[in-house]
Amino acid sequence: MDCIRILCAAGAIAVASTAAGQQPAAAGNPEVARAHISMCTGCHTIPGYQASFPRVYRVPKIGGQSAKYIEAALQGYKKGERDHPTMQAIAKGLTDQQIADIAAYYAARGAEAAK
Ligand code: HEC
């Protein structure tokens, strides 16, 4: 399954870079977001919502949250208003547009994204 996911991500990056020139950067685009989701799934799609490195901790479910909520949470980590080292590092690596895209993706996929 992991191999398939990587192939999907690679395909999405190719699609995203061709689409980027044609689409105005406005609201979040869930299709573009697919390229970034591969780095979230490792932690956010685990059954029981737990990750085990460097210790076992709970990871909140994000699929099915509203786009506004996810966007606000990621911006909070990016600005340092929300305090979690891992998520801060991840959010700081994302542009505002990528955050909007990711928020739209998880909101649109709903519970599906949590599988
Ligand atoms: C290394 C594991 C890890 C990765 C990778 C990761 N996250 Fe997280 N994420 C967490 C943990 C742990 C929390 C809970 C942090 C806290 O308690 O504030 C969290 C919290 C969140 C929240 C807030 C949820 C809430 O209900 O408060 C959002 C939104 C989120 N992550 C989105 C993402 C996105 C989008 C990605 C990919 C770009 C991602 N995460 C990658 C571990 C991870």
Residues near ligand 1 (Cβ within 6 A)? 36, 39-40, 42-44, 51, 57, 59-60, 62, 70, 73-74, 82, 84, 86-87, 90, 102
Atom of ligand 1 nearest to the CA of 77: 18
Residues 1-39 have pLDDT tens digits of: 444 454 444 444 444 444 444 444 458 998 888 888 888
Distance from C-alpha of 84 to C-alpha of 88, rounded to nearest angstrom? 6
pLDDT at 51 (0 to 100): 60
107 pLDDT above the threshold of 70: yes
- Which residue's CA is minimally distant from atom 5 of ligand 1? 40
The ranges assigned to domains in the chain are: 2-114
Architecture of domain 2-114: Orthogonal Bundle (1.10)
Task: Find where tokens 């599988």 sit.
Answer: 115
- Cα Rg, the chain, nearest whole Å: 14
Residue 86: closest CA among 46, 49, 40: 40
Is 51 in a helix, a strand, or coil?
A: strand
Task: Find where tokens 């395909």 sit.
Answer: 11
pLDDT at 104 (0 to 100): 92
